[in-house]
Each structure stands twice: as C-alpha cells, then as structure tokens.
C-alpha cells in the first residue's frame, strides 16, 4: 500500500508537472513572455517537489537503549559534539546523556537548583539555560540568572544576571552570530503575565539589549532561526488566573528580521495549534513536533513542517506516542525526541525515546 501511495505521489508531484509545462510550452512557442512564465512555473514546481520529497519513507519508532534516563518534563534535549543531553526539568534532576552511536545512557551532574521551562541553546560546546523557571505550578518563578552546563567537565556554573525588568520564563531562545535572541515568555508561571518582549544577550560582553516587541505574546514555545530570520511557532498564552488553561494556543507564525529589527506575520498558520512542542530546523523547514492543547486530553503526536521559502506547512508522519514538554534533535539525517508527558498536564511521565528515520 505504501509503495503504491509513493508511486502516486511521484507521478503527481514530479511527472505531471513536467508534462503540463511541456504541453503548454508547445502552445506558446512564439510567445517569449509566456515561455518565461512557464519556465518560472516549472522552477517553482521543482522547488516544491524537492521540498516535499524530504523525509519520504521516514517513520517514527521507539528504540531500545542500554541504561535509562530520568523521566522528566519541561526539560530540553540538545546535541553537543554528537552526544545528546537531556537537561533540566521539574525537581533537581541529573543530566541524562545519550550516545546515539551506542544507544547507551549515562548520567551527568545535577544543576545547582531546579530549572525548567526553557529552550536550551549551545554556544562554544556549552549548554545555556536562559530565562528558565523554578518552583511549582501555577506560580513558577523566573530565575534571576543564566545557568550554564559544560559537558566536557560535567560541571555547572551560574552565569550572568538577567535584568530584573526582563526576567520571565518559558521563553524561546535561539543563537545567531554568537548572540542569544530571547523571545516572549511569561512572568508568573502558568498564572498570568504573557509578554511580547524580545532581547538579545551577548555572552562576550554580558550585555542585554531590548529589541522590537513580537506581534504575539506566547509561552511554552520555541524559537528557530533560518538565514537571517527568527521564527516563533506554536505556544500558548497561559492564563490559569482565569482558568483558561490551554485554551489560548497560538496558531499565528511570527517572523523577525534579524537585520532590520522588524517583525512580520506569516500568511500560513500552524494547522494544529499547540504548546510544549519540540522543534528542529532541517534545511529550509522548521518541524513542530508533538505538544499539548485543550483540543484533546492525550498529548499531540502530530508533526508539522513549515517551509520558510514557500511559506506553507505540510504534515509529516506522527509520533508513535503523543507527548509534550519535550525537546528534539536533528542529527545524522535522523530526528530524536525523548521523555515528556503523555497527556495534557503533568502526567504520565514517559520513559521512551523515539527516532524518525528510514531505517
């Protein structure tokens, strides 16, 4: 069945466009303008076909590993020199370290305090946790400092102090030209205080700079950078104060031009709005992986890919199990995601790692 579907896709996506353009070109042999239009149309179709062909034949599966990781939520999962670090989460948890070559888990040092609700970023082979939170639901508290983990020495240190008027948690963080861009977040856990703030932090000078506010407030969302633009996709406007829970999931895609310090809003919207998702960048696509929403009790298993060139989403095969409060890694043409929660809310904690591959 799968081979037949792939065959139909190949015919529809690759062969028919060629035939259509060829036949049309014969009708307009003497019309140079129309010929140019047709060539442009063919180029666009070829680009879209190539983009849609990525991940053909890929599926998600749960893999067997040696050793265990500590089950956790509101953590992140990042790659440093080919080893994967499951870091942070509620409670003070050791770092769980995964070697994808051997499928073996080992254990690293505990952080100096509870750190959760952050998007980790890697800079000079160290893992930076910026605008994390601590304490329990619904009044999780933004931490005062950046926290940094060094895999080489398996040690933690306290980094720069975050300006008091810019402290928040559950923000998006992405690295661009050796500077950290911090987007949106929330002031008071899940309770209230969604913000549109955007800052850039320079680790060389310890300087924070305020940038143009984002069009949309959101928390529990990741930031992603492709080229000279930053993208905010997914997330929620948490509001336990008014008992709204996950009702305020965000479908809008916000785009920040890193050169001009200006925001715009994409035409496309996230097809399945949700928060607490993982994300990875693969070429010109941002993959939004899993998440949670008020739409369903079970965590989402959907994977939506946003192509920054075409400005469109497409749907990829779903995870084996829905999960949220997760991170994801793209490595060696495979995607990994691990841990998190199986239902909306805080339970059950999951003990599996999934891989998206052709194997």
* Neighbour-count burial of 115, counting CB atoms closer than 10 A to its CB (0-12 exposed, 13-18 middle, 19+ buried): buried
Q: Token pair for residue 112? A: 């100096």
Q: Say how many residues make up the chain.
A: 359
**pTM score, two decimals?**
0.88
For the chain, give every domain's residue range.
2-53, 59-357
pLDDT on residue 26: 61
Cis check: omega of the bond before 348, within 30 degrees of 0: yes
pLDDT tens for each residue of 39-78: 665 555 555 555 667 899 999 999 999 999 999 999 999 9
Give one DSSP letter per residue of 9-59, joined into a string.
Answer: HHIIIIIHHHHHHHHHHHHTTT-HHHHHHHHHHHHHHHHHHHHHHTTTT-E
pLDDT on residue 54: 87
Element (H, E) at 5: helix 2-10
| Buried/exposed 332-341: b ≥16 CB within 10 Å, e otherwise | eeebbbbbbb
pLDDT on residue 18: 57
Q: How far, CA to CA in Å, does 175 sit from each of 124, 161, 276? A: 11, 18, 20
CATH T-level assignment (fold) for domain 59-357: Neuraminidase (2.120.10)
pLDDT on residue 11: 42
pLDDT on residue 137: 97
pLDDT on residue 24: 53
pLDDT tens for each residue of 298-354: 999 999 999 999 999 999 999 999 999 989 999 999 999 999 999 999 999 999 999
Positions in the chain whose pLDDT score sits under 70? 1-52
pLDDT on residue 27: 54
């Amino acid at each position: 069945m799968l081979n037949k579907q792939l065959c139909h896709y190949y015919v529809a996506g690759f062969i028919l466009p060629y035939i259509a353009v060829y036949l049309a070109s014969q009708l307009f042999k003497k019309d140079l303008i129309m010929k140019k239009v047709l060539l442009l149309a063919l180029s666009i179709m070829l680009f879209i076909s190539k983009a849609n062909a990525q991940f053909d034949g890929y599926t998600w599966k749960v893999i067997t590993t040696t050793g265990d990781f500590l089950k956790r939520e509101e953590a992140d999962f990042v790659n440093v020199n080919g080893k994967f670090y499951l870091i942070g989460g509620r409670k003070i948890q050791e770092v769980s370290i995964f070697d994808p070559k051997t499928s073996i888990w080992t254990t690293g040092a505990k952080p100096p305090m509870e750190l959760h609700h952050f998007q980790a970023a890697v800079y000079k082979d160290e893992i930076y946790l910026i605008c994390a939170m601590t304490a329990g639901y619904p009044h999780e508290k933004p931490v005062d400092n950046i926290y940094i983990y060094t895999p080489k020495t398996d040690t933690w240190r306290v980094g720069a102090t975050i300006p008091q008027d810019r402290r928040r948690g559950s923000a998006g963080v992405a690295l661009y030209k050796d500077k950290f861009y911090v987007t949106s977040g929330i002031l008071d856990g899940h309770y209230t205080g969604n913000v549109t703030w955007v800052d850039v932090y320079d680790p060389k000078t310890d300087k924070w700079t305020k940038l143009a506010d984002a069009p949309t407030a959101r928390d529990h969302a990741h930031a992603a950078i492709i080229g000279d633009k930053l993208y905010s996709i997914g997330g929620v406007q948490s509001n336990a104060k008014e008992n709204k829970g996950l009702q305020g999931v965000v479908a809008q895609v916000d785009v920040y031009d890193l050169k001009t310090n200006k925001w715009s809003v994409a035409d496309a919207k996230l097809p399945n709005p949700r928060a607490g998702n993982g994300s990875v960048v693969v070429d010109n696509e941002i993959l939004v992986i899993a998440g949670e929403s008020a739409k369903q009790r079970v965590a989402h298993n959907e994977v939506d890919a946003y192509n920054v060139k075409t400005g469109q989403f497409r749907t990829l095969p779903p995870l084996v199990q829905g999960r949220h409060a997760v991170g994801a890694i793209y490595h060696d043409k495979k995607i990994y995601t691990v841990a998190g929660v199986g239902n909306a809310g805080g339970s059950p904690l999951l003990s599996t790692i999934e891989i998206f591959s052709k194997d």
